[in-house]
Amino acid sequence: MAGLALALVAFVALAAVSADSGCGHAGAGRAAANNIRILDLQHKLEALQERVEARKKLGTEKIKELKHLRDRVDDFRGSGCPDNKFSCGRHTDECINRLLVCDKHDDCSNGADEGEENCFDIAHAGQVLEGDLHGEHCAPHQNPTHIKVSITGEIRRHWFPSVEDITAHVTITYDDGSVVSRDLHGKYYFGDHKLVVYHGEGHTAVDLECHFTHGNDNHCYAEFVREDDGSVCGKAILHALD
């Protein structure tokens, strides 16, 4: 669009020069008029380019929204596969082990398990996720209100590429204004689109499990899970900042 704008402006300018090859006051007047026309045309073309870019952005957002709705419908209907299996798609009855997803080998006949939509590294170093906490009751006498998870490192081993080891800097803000930060370890499971951050040890340990919507990498649904009994003691929606 920018190239088209420049070409049209150049054409009008060339026509103006040709028309103004004469001399005198008449030529000067025509030159001034043509300059005004050129500026007006340039402004119109710039406005058109802005509208095109805005519609392009809206179109991209609508496509992501449609994918999100499609995935919500799929979640409602179910994949047709057991919970520990990965569905190769809506139009196939193939189910494979989730640990085979994104292992650099096609296990689905249609290659869905190695597609970019499933194998995009959401938990890459530099990714930041944060959100507000409501009703979290994992520890007595504490009331966390906000959490921020910054992925600081990633290791994806060639012999087990479907699971990625990560390090994260986790910052939790409490209702009294106090802030606690810790460097923690975790994993990202490509087959589940699940980020797990291990927090603490022993019977008081609480892990953060954040599930990303299939095909969507801008937020995840977090649960705080007690390691000793697997109970959920808090939930949040974390949004990606990068």
Q: What is the pLDDT of residues 142-168, one digit of tens each?
A: 889 999 999 999 999 999 999 999 999
- Work out the pLDDT band at 34, boundaries 50, 70, 90: confident
Q: What is the pLDDT of residues 192-208, one digit of tens each?
A: 999 999 986 655 678 99
Q: Phi and psi dihedrals of 64, rounded to 5?
A: -65, -40
Render 49-104 in DSSP notation, one character per residue. HHHHHHHHHHHHHHHHHHHHHHHHHHHHH--SS-TTEEE--TT---EEEGGGTTSS
Tokens representing residue 177 in the block: 């204004």
Tokens representing residue 151 in the block: 């992925």
Task: Tell me the pairing of strands 128-132 and 232-240.
Answer: antiparallel
Segment 181-201 mean pLDDT: 91
Residue 173: the pLDDT is 94
Residue 123 CB-half CA count within 13 A: 31
Kindly state the greatest CA–CA separation across the chain. 95
Q: Which residues partner with 180 through β-bridges? A: 172
Q: Decide if 207 contacts 224 (C-beta within 8 A).
A: yes
